[in-house]
Structure formats: C-alpha cells, structure tokens
C-alpha cells in the first residue's frame, strides 16, 4: 500500500510529503542519499523508532527543485521531508508502534524524487532514488488487556466509622507515607517545627527528626527505609529510617531547580517535578549517593502531579489543568526522563487530579474515579477500563491505598464545600472500601464532620487502616484539639 501526501513549493525551508511521477533531467546533476538503506529495530515493549536520511542535490543554478516521496506502509507510519537549502535536506522516517505490529520483520520501499516542476514531469539526473527499509520487531506479543471493570452502584452508607484516635504529637501534617517494613506512618511537618516524624503503630510512639527548612513533599523508597524530603521546593533532604532508636540527621542536597513534588525509586534515584513558576520545566533525576543530576529530554508542564511506577522505569503524570485531561507517560533511563506518549482522551473518560498506582503497577486510579490500565505495551497502556463508584456526586478521591494482602482498596472521599463556614455538615470525609479485583463497593463510613481525611494507608497485613485527618473547627466555636489527627479505623460496620 502506498501513502500519498501533499507537496509544497521549495523555499528556504521546505516541509513536504507528496506523491508524484515523471522522468527526465539534466546531465551532471547528482542526488546523494545517506545511508542508502535503512535498518530499524524495536522491542514490543519499546517505543517506535525513527530513522533519518541525509539528502544532497547538485542541480542547475537558478532552478527551483520540488522533492516528492512515496512509500509503502508495512512498518512505516509516516515520512517527513525537510530541505534547509536548495541543495540539502533530510528525510525522517517514523515507524509504527512495535506492540501494535507484533514480532516480525516488515519490509518497505521509499522512493525519493527530485523534480523541477509541481507535476514532476522533469526530474533531475540521479532521480528517483529508491531506499529499501527493513523494520524488525522482537519480543513477545502484547498480552490481552485486563478485562474492563463492570459498573457498580455507589457504596452503601455504613454509618459512622469506628475509629481510635492515636496519641500523635500536636503537629500539622504537610505530607505522609506508610513504611510497611517498619509498620510506621511517616510524616513531615512545618508546625510547631520543621520536622520529620515516624509514628510506630505497634508501640504507639513517635520519633522526630529536625529539618533545616520547611518541608513541602515527602517520598519513601519502595522498601520504606529511606525518606526523601523536598524543603521549600529548593533543596533536598534524605534520611535513613530505622525501626527504633534516634533517627540519624538528614543529609542535604541543594537543588539548581525549583520543584513541587518528588518520587524516590528503589535505585536511590529521586525524581523531581518542576514547580508552578520554575524557569524551564524539566523532570530532574538525582542519585542520592552521587548527587549527579540528569534532566528530562525536552521540557515538561510545570506543577505536574505524578506517580512513580513500582518497577521504577516510568512516571505517570497529570498536567496542571483546571479541567480533566490526558495522562502523560515518561520513560526513565540512566540519562533522565523522556516523554513516551499520552492517553487518548475521548472526552468521556479523562484522567483527573492526583493519580495512584495499584500495588502491582497494572492499574492507574485518578481522583474522579476513572481507572486506566498501566502496561509496558502501548496498545494496552493508559486505556480506560472502568470507574470507581463514589458515595456522593460532588466528592472526589483525596487519598487511596491498594492492598494485595487484604484484597482491598480503601480511599478517602472528601467534600470541601463547607469547611470554612458553620455548620460543618458539608465539610466531610468518608472512608470507602472496595474489592480489589472487581472494584465492587464493600461499604462507606463517615468521619466526624469537620475531620477531613488527607491520607489513608493499609498496614503490611492489610488488617488495619490508618487515616491522617485534618481538623476543620466550626468557625462559630473556639478551636479545640490538635490541627491533625492520626486515626486507626476498624473496617467492621
């Protein structure tokens, strides 16, 4: 099959892709193409490659040339021709996605014609040039995607949650994570002091580590034993966490960029997302041991919200849009991040707000409840698979925990509308439980009015849930109690 594209007259810079015909020419004219054949390879789990041909043309002075190209499409997706002068240009060949093609070798032929008129009735000497193109895809074929999730009814109201308030010290919580290896809730705080806190859930004791600046974000390594903390968006602190005893002082790493969030991988590389007003937004990747930074290939939207895949090889991120939009995927390499592609939003099933990955890394949950597949194969990756049914029409997901041990998903569904006025009836949080396989609701339990769940975590066995909540005091009453609570939730109605 051949692809026919439009052709434009040659100016100083020419972008074309067209089909044509004809023959003829002038003596002494040369058309040189390097290389004279193309061999491309890709893995089914990789990205589509591209190849480049350099073209030079000697032709009669004073005459305008018009390049034409035609090609078969066994493995080629499209071809682009750009001439930067009257005598030189390049041909860019873009190949089809390897997982869509599947394993095999795909042979194409590309024909380049250099003509003196738009009808290509007269070609230069040496034209046309034919280039053989071979594209080999290796690896296993893409597996069938996980089945779509059937629609379910909203979770039933189980009444008020049975909660136990744990004796957390009186401090605020800027960000939090759960270390399953230590069975501890790890938090960072700016009030009454800049600090990292480790709350041991077995002993109900809390340890504190002073920080040199106000923390804005926290990330734990997958083994839960290293904490990376972003300080005021402009410096990086990291600390090794232990099961008991005093916490060793955090080590510092100044940053040359402004960041809004961070993610720490098992390889001790921390990935920083650019702040809202950072100049020249890039994903910055820094090895904690060498302090060597690597910057993403090309700029990225500032103030993205992202999540690191458990395998440590990709970031899924949402750009900072007021309305729902596409989810972006970035590949992580030794030289930094690079954008692979984005979800094909059909308008009906957009990504939205914060993202969470399932424990196995095969699902992406978004704040409005839409669920997408995560896969090494693009044919399946970022495809819509269903929706988590929420309790209320105006609520959104504030935090989510996926437990393989419990076979359960727990999330915080929150309404903020009434948090700054009395009464606090519309300032509410619910803890919703779902079957991990089918996403069928298993109950919805209300926290006390004015207690807004910020974070929810399963312990390593999946037997207990911990909720970090912020207290919104009734504006008509004097404030009472700490600004934040740590709650242990009974999952029984």
Q: Where in the chain are the domains?
A: 2-138, 157-490
Residue 51 has pLDDT above 90, yes or no: yes
List the beta strands (DSSP E) in 244-383. 251-254, 259-264, 269-274, 284-287, 293-295, 305-308, 314-318, 328-333, 336-342, 355-357, 363-366, 370-373
Calculate ∠ Cα 305-308-311, nearest 5°: 165
Residue 323 has pLDDT above 70, yes or no: no
Using a CB cutoff of 8 Å and minimum separation of 24, what contacts does 287-294 make?
288/226, 288/228, 288/238, 288/253, 288/264, 291/253, 293/256, 294/334, 294/335, 294/336
Question: What token pair was written down for 453?
Answer: 């769940």
So what's the pLDDT on residue 86? 78
Question: What token pair was written down for 110?
Answer: 């590309």
Residue 104 has pLDDT above 80, yes or no: yes
| Tens-digit pLDDT profile for residues 71-85 | 999 999 999 998 888
The CATH class of 157-490 is: mainly beta
Q: pTM for the complete prediction?
A: 0.81
Q: What is the mean pLDDT of residues 324-345?
A: 86
So what's the pLDDT on residue 264? 95
3-state helix, strand, coil in the chain (%, to 5): 0, 50, 50
Residue 9 has pLDDT above 50, yes or no: no
So what's the pLDDT on residue 276? 82
Architecture of the domain spanning 2-138: Sandwich (2.60)
Average pLDDT over the chain reads: 85
Dihedral of CA 308/310/314/319: which sign? negative
| Tens-digit pLDDT profile for residues 25-40 | 444 458 899 999 999 9
In this chain, the answer to whether the domains covering 2-138 and 157-490 adopt an identical fold is no
My answer on whether omega of the bond before 137 falls inside 30° of 0, hence cis, is no
Measured between alpha carbons, how far is 20 from 114 in angstroms, rounded to an integer? 10
Burial status of residue 323 (CB atoms within 10 A of its CB: 0-12, 13-18, 19 or more): exposed
| Contact (CB, 8 A) for 99 and 45 | yes
């Amino acid at each position: 099959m051949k692809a026919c594209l439009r052709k434009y007259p040659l100016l100083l810079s020419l972008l074309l892709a067209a089909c044509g015909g004809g023959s003829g020419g002038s003596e002494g004219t040369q058309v040189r193409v390097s290389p004279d054949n193309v061999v491309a390879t890709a893995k089914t789990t990789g990205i589509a490659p591209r190849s480049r041909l350099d073209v030079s043309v000697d032709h009669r002075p004073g005459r305008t040339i018009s390049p034409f190209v035609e090609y078969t499409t066994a493995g080629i997706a499209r071809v682009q021709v750009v001439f930067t002068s009257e005598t030189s240009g390049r041909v860019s060949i873009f190949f089809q996605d390897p997982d869509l093609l599947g394993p095999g070798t795909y042979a194409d032929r590309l024909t380049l014609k250099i003509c003196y008129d738009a009808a290509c009735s007269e070609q230069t000497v040496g034209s046309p040039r034919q280039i053989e193109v071979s594209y080999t895809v290796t690896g296993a074929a893409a597996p069938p995607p996980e089945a779509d999730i059937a629609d379910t009814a909203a979770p039933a109201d189980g009444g008020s949650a049975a909660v136990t308030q744990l004796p957390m010290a009186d401090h605020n919580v800027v960000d939090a994570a759960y270390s399953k290896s230590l069975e501890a809730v790890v938090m960072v705080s700016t009030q009454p002091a800049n600090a990292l806190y480790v709350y041991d859930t077995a002993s109900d004791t809390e340890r504190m580590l002073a920080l040199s600046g106000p923390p804005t974000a926290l990330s734990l390594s997958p083994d839960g034993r290293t904490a990376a903390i972003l300080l005021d968006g402009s410096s990086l602190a990291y600390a090794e966490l232990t099961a008991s005893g005093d916490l060793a002082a955090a080590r510092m790493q100044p940053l040359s960029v402004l960041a809004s969030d961070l993610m720490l991988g098992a390889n001790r590389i921390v990935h920083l997302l650019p702040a809202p007003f950072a100049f020249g937004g890039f994903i910055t990747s820094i090895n904690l041991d060498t302090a060597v930074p690597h910057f993403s290939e090309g700029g990225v939207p500032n103030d993205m919200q992202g999540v690191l895949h458990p395998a440590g090889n990709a970031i899924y991120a949402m750009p900072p849009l007021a309305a729902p939009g596409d989810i972006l995927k970035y590949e992580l390499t030794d030289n930094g991040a690079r954008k692979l592609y984005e979800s094909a939003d059909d308008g009906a099933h957009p990504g939205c707000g914060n993202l969470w990955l399932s424990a196995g890394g095969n699902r992406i949950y978004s704040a409005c409840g839409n669920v997408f597949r995560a896969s090494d194969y693009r044919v399946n990756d970022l495809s819509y698979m269903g929706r988590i049914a929420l309790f209320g029409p105006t609520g959104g997901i504030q935090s989510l925990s996926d437990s393989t041990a419990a076979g359960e998903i727990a999330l915080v569904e929150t309404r903020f509308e009434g948090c700054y006025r009395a009464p606090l009836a519309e300032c509410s949080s619910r803890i919703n439980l779902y079957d991990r396989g089918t996403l069928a609701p298993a109950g919805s339990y209300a926290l006390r009015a004015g207690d807004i769940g910020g974070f929810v975590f399963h312990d390593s066995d999946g037997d207990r849930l911990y909720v970090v909540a912020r207290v919104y005091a009734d504006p008509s009453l004097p404030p009472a109690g700490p600004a934040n609570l740590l709650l242990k939730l009974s999952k029984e109605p």
